[in-house]
């Protein structure tokens, strides 16, 4: 259960990156606010500008919140928490209150019920490894951005035809990596594609140069050892590096297009 700090008299919360709280607390400035009815285009713009979607998997809601805080303070602006994280909605609710300007969403969404609950709690975007029927129509008014997954040209075209504004190519690394993504972009230069699965910081530039709108980074930011040791300073530094790589790659691509 998330307990807002405002309800806890006399509690002082450290802002140190490497300090983990013993329980979940939202910022004392938190307030429940409904985001604008149409946020899909805003999130899409955030993704296009940053070039990075941070993918967070954690063993608890408390760990997820602490790791997310470190990443967001490190410059990450688009972050997804996977449904496999215990207490994912608890973590989501706390983070969207603390970071209202960030694009925070939920990943590995596999059914409409999960999608609805996530959006009701403030998720600005939803990600799936495949196209989940019904979700696109559920968010048709733009209350959240839905990013379905696709692997083949047929799946990419189908998702775009159904109304997806951006599509995740998953699993891209085992499907051919950068070369495969580049091949997909040739017939679909107008469709924004996100490269997902198996990416490191050293491949961000290559994927974006070959046409990816953004790259999903998981372990490259939320390093397994750092997560196990609760080394949030390490996560903060990795997030800084990821944000820099993404920004540089996006700027370079824009300059090449001009």
Q: Work out the angle between the directed axes of helices 88-98 and 112-120 (0-180°, nearest 10).
A: 30
Number of structural domains found in the chain: 1
Element containing residue 78 per DSSP (H, E): strand 78-82
Would 146 be classed as within a structural domain?
yes
Per-residue DSSP letter, 193:
E
pLDDT single digits (tens) 90-106? 999 999 999 999 999 99
pLDDT, mean over the chain: 89
Q: Which burial class, exposed, middle or buried, applies to 76 when counting CB atoms under 10 A from its CB (0-12, 13-18, 19+)?
A: buried
Domain boundaries, position 236: 39-257
Mean pLDDT of 5-12: 34
143 pLDDT more than 60: yes
pLDDT single digits (tens) 199-218? 999 999 999 999 999 999 99
Would 18 be classed as within a structural domain?
no
pLDDT single digits (tens) 49-96? 999 999 999 999 999 999 999 999 999 999 999 999 999 999 999 999
Question: CATH number of the domain that 229 lies in?
Answer: 3.20.20.70
Would 17 be classed as within a structural domain?
no
């Amino acid at each position: 259960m998330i307990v807002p700090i405002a309800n806890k008299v006399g509690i002082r919360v450290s802002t140190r990156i490497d300090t983990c709280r013993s329980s979940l607390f939202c910022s004392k400035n938190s307030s429940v606010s409904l985001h604008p009815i149409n946020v899909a285009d805003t999130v899409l713009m955030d993704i296009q500008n940053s070039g990075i979607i941070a993918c967070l998997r954690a063993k608890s809601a408390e760990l997820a919140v602490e790791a997310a805080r470190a990443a967001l303070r490190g410059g990450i602006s688009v972050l997804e928490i996977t449904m496999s994280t215990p207490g994912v909605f608890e973590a989501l609710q706390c983070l969207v209150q603390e970071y209202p300007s960030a694009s925070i969403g939920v990943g590995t969404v596999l059914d409409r019920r999960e999608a609805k609950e996530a959006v009701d709690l403030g998720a600005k975007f939803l990600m799936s490894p495949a196209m989940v029927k019904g979700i696109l129509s559920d968010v048709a008014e733009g209350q959240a951005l839905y990013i379905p997954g696709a692997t083949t040209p047929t799946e990419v075209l189908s998702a775009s035809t159904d109304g997806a504004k951006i599509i995740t190519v998953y699993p891209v690394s085992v499907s051919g990596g950068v070369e495969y993504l580049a091949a997909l972009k040739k017939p679909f230069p107008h469709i924004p594609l996100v490269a997902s699965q198996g990416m490191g910081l050293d491949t961000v530039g290559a994927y974006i140069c070959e046409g990816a709108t953004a790259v999903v980074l998981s372990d490259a930011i939320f390093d397994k050892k750092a997560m196990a040791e609760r080394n949030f300073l390490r996560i903060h530094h990795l997030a800084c590096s990821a944000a820099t790589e993404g920004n540089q790659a996006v700027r370079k691509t824009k300059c090449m297009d001009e």
